[in-house]
Amino acid sequence: MRNFAGTRLAVRAILTVFAKEFRENLRERRTLLSALILGPLLGPLLLAGGLSLRLERGLGEVDRPLALAVAHGERAPNLLAFLREHGVTVTSVDYEPSAARAAVRSGREQQVLAVDADFAARLAAGLPAPLELYADASDLTAAGDSARLRALIQQYSALLGRLRLAARGVDPLLLAPIAVQDIDVSTPASRSVLILGTLSYLILITMLMGGMYLAIDATAGERERGSLEPLLTVPVHRELLIYGKILATCAYMILSLALTVTAFAVVLRFTGLERFGMSVNFGPRVALEVILLTLPLVPLGAALMTLVAAYTRTYREAQTYLALVLLVPTVPLAFAGLVGLRPRPALMAVPSLSQHFLITSLLRAEALPPGWVALSVGATLALAALLVVAAGGLYRREALLG
Amino acid sequence: MIEAQRLEKHFGRVTAVREVSLRALDGRITGLLGPNGAGKSTTLRMLYTVLAPDRGDALIDGCSVVREPLAARARLGVLPHSAGIYPNLTARENILYFGALQGLKRSARRARAAELVQLLEMEEFADRRARGLSQGERVRTALARALVHSPRNLVLDEPTNGLDVMAVRALRRLLLQLRVAGHCVLFSSHVMQEVSALCDEVVVIAHGVVLEHGTPDEIRGRTGAGSLEEAFVRLIGATDATSRGPG
């Protein structure tokens, strides 16, 4: 049926199935929730929430007073004065070593500083004066405070060292033979990627979730309900039926994608990353470019989910397998992160990974090489076409009825 | 007219249908009668092209299901075993969807849907979401859907499944109406009463083969039975005996 009338009929059949699936799912609460509300709202809110927490913590760490328990603090009054001047709140405790250990391990104290009995004597004699710092290295939340404290004590020690040299008529600068100057080439936009690196992953996941329920309903759901067989009795080529369903899935995914990216663009405006010398490069133009870059993944994701769901028997089985399929785009991203992959022309042929690199580049306000974009779009669409044809082939098979 | 010519179908090592030939004429109601697992559904599925025969062919108004499946489908209205209505669409929308798939233009399918709603007495629930319909209402919707393109041939797979007495009588009335209008109606059943009340022609099938065919009277006469049920049991019994072998 390769004549013009045939093509027109084919297009009309695809659009008929598309229109029905699209409209029917507008009445399906689960699909709407997942595609239009959960993904687009939850993703940005989670990101913004996580960001704020991390930033507040980072900010607070520098300004927040550090609580320190000191045992035998009377043996090192000048050290304690120094610490107090630099924002440390000192509380005196009466711990023997085992008691100090137990206090930190149980979490009663975050860290305990114990001053040895011969601290003052050795200090006066110009010998290393011992202090014990009890801390829990496996406690990540205390890591910041421990580092701060250690830095302060080092500062005090260096101060004493310089005073001793000066007292002996030696220039303290002799101890600093090399001066390293850090020159930072990062831009505010590129720095923002440290925090926003997961953005591309979140966008991909919510996009897939947008079409997931429709993909399941249109295949496994159809079979489970018994509505597949009547559908196969109409005078329409079978693969056209699945093409129409994939198209409807694409429509929901595009809606979800557009809403998600818009939500991110809005939310990121209010995160206050500027306070940290980062700028968020996610204005309307970038948002549109991100959407366009991600569009080729829509038919790929739709065809993949439809294909997998079409193999399953029941709605529940489809849900299980599609949840696994949602992980598929994350594998290249996780791999890239672990192995420390940098963008390369060859990698632009890997769907999902190429979009991740390109989106990250956009966030860094870098120019996108047109060749890379072309390769990314081409390779993704080629794989999508392959999967669509495979889905059509599946629908022609008899075993479809189960 | 529906004509099956020596249809054969295997599923793995099981032969579900073997050398089944039958003919259902226009203006007649033909019943495919057989016990569960006889091969009725498989035969019908080959007729409406959802299954491809391993051997043999079938002609729907002259169109081969093997060589011209789309043309064959266009000449058939089908009510498969499970009505399979879309729960989120109204009964009318279900009909309209299939009208569109059958190639009817918008005004044509709207008019046809209205016609069918009236014919099948669906006014009360036509615009209600199919989710809330009773079994009888669902079957009527499926039937309307099968008739939306005014096919001359109608195939129904155990249409009275799960229907109450009133619904069965309504269906019977409708099938008789269709017969008078010149349609070819073919339906499968294992309910004796239905078949003897409705059918002009009966095809008895068991273990995938046609045992007998003819009018109910002819079959009774040939088996020497007092009723169609008796005839049926004798036919099945005979097959059972031969298929089981000596002892």
Location of structure tokens 């046809």: B112
A135 part of a folded domain:
yes
How would you write A149-186 as a 3-class SS string?
HHHHHHHHHHHHHHHHHHHCCCCHHHHCCCCCCCCCCC
pTM for the complete prediction?
0.81
What are the backbone dihedrals phi and psi of residue B192, each rounded to the nearest 5 degrees, phi first? -55, -45
Model pLDDT for residues A104-125, shown as the tens digit of each residue = 888 888 888 999 888 989 988 8
A59 part of a folded domain:
no
Q: Which helix (H) or strand (E) holds B154?
A: strand B153-157
Tens digit of pLDDT at every position of chain B (247 positions) = 999 999 999 998 899 999 999 999 999 999 999 988 889 999 999 999 999 999 999 999 999 999 999 999 999 999 998 888 999 999 999 999 999 999 999 999 999 999 999 999 899 999 999 998 998 899 999 999 999 999 999 999 999 888 888 888 888 999 999 999 999 999 998 888 888 889 999 999 999 999 989 999 899 888 888 888 888 888 888 766 555 445 4
From B55, B74, B61, select the one nearest B6 (Cα to Cα).
Answer: B55
A93 part of a folded domain:
yes
- From chain B, the residues in CB contact with A227 under 8 A are 84-86
- Greatest Cα pair distance in chain A: 103
- Tell which of A175, A206, A239 closes a domain: A175
**How far is Cα A385 from Cα A391, in angstroms, rounded to an integer?**
10
Are the beta carbons of A13 and B101 separated by less than 8 Å? yes
Domain check: are A124 and A21 in the same one? no
A144 part of a folded domain:
yes
From B42, B65, B59, select the one nearest A229 (Cα to Cα).
Answer: B42
Compare all CA atoms of chain A with the CA of B156 and give the residue at the minimum distance. Answer: A230
Domain check: are A223 and A316 in the same one? yes
Domains (ranges, CATH) in chain B?
2-75+152-244 (3.40.50.300), 86-150 (no CATH)
From A281, A299, A300, A302, select the one nearest A290 (Cα to Cα).
Answer: A281
Domain check: are A213 and A305 in the same one? yes
Query: For chain B, how many residues are written?
Result: 247
DSSP A292-348: HHHTTHHHHHHHHHHHHHHH-SSHHHHHHHHHHHTTTTHHHHHHHHHHTPPP-GGGG
What number of C-beta contacts closer than 8 Å exist between A and B?
A: 74
Domain check: are A109 and A202 in the same one? no
Domain check: are A153 and A192 in the same one? no
Domain count for chain A, please give it. Answer: 2
Domain check: are A282 and A387 in the same one? yes
CATH of the domain at A134: 3.40.1710.10
Domain check: are A238 and A107 in the same one? no
Give the mutation candidate from B44, B50, B148 for the A interface (greatest A CB count, under 10 A).
Answer: B50
- Tell which of A116, A141, A175 closes a domain: A175
**How far is Cα A311 from Cα A333, in angstroms, rounded to an integer?**
27
Domain check: are A299 and A366 in the same one? yes
Angle of CA points B218, B224, B225, to nearest 5°: 90
Distance from CA of A231 to the nearest CA of B (A): 8
pLDDT at A183: 82
pLDDT at A374: 93
How would you write A172-224 as a 3-class SS string?
HHHHCCCCCCCCCCCCHHHHHHHHHCCHHHHHHHHHHHHHHHHHHHHHHHHHH
- Tell which of A134, A153, A175 closes a domain: A175
Domain check: are A29 and A77 in the same one? no
Chain A within 8 Å of B60 (Cβ-Cβ)?
A: no
A355 part of a folded domain:
yes
- Which structural domain, as residue segments, surrounds residue A114? 65-175
From A309, A239, A253, A240, select the one nearest A15 (Cα to Cα).
Answer: A240
pLDDT at A62: 58
Domain check: are A13 and A106 in the same one? no
Tens digit of pLDDT at every position of chain A (402 positions) = 344 568 888 999 999 999 999 999 888 887 788 778 877 888 788 777 777 777 666 665 556 778 888 988 888 899 999 998 888 888 888 888 888 888 888 888 888 899 988 898 998 888 899 998 888 888 877 777 888 888 889 999 989 988 888 888 998 888 888 888 888 877 777 777 766 777 888 888 889 988 998 999 888 888 888 899 999 999 999 999 999 999 999 999 999 999 999 988 888 877 767 766 677 778 888 889 999 999 999 999 999 999 999 888 888 999 999 999 888 877 887 777 777 778 888 888 888 889 988 988 888 888 889 999 999 999 999 999 999 999 999 888 866 565
A298 part of a folded domain:
yes
Query: For chain A, how many residues are written?
Result: 402
Which residue in B86, B102, B129 is closest to A227 by CB distance?
B86
**How far is Cα B106 from Cα B92, in angstroms, rounded to an integer?**
13
**How far is Cα B139 from Cα B94, in angstroms, rounded to an integer?**
12
Phi-psi region of B214 (alpha: psi -120 to 50; beta: other; left: phi over 0): left
A57 part of a folded domain:
no
Domain check: are A203 and A329 in the same one? yes
Q: Which helix (H) or strand (E) holds A91?
A: strand A88-93
**How far is Cα B16 from Cα B9, in angstroms, rounded to an integer?**
6
A104 part of a folded domain:
yes
Q: Which of residues 114-143 of B touch A (CB under 8 A)?
A: 129, 142
Domain check: are A264 and A383 in the same one? yes
DSSP A5-26: HHHHHHHHHHHHHHHHHHHHHH
Distance from CA of B141 to the nearest CA of A (A): 12
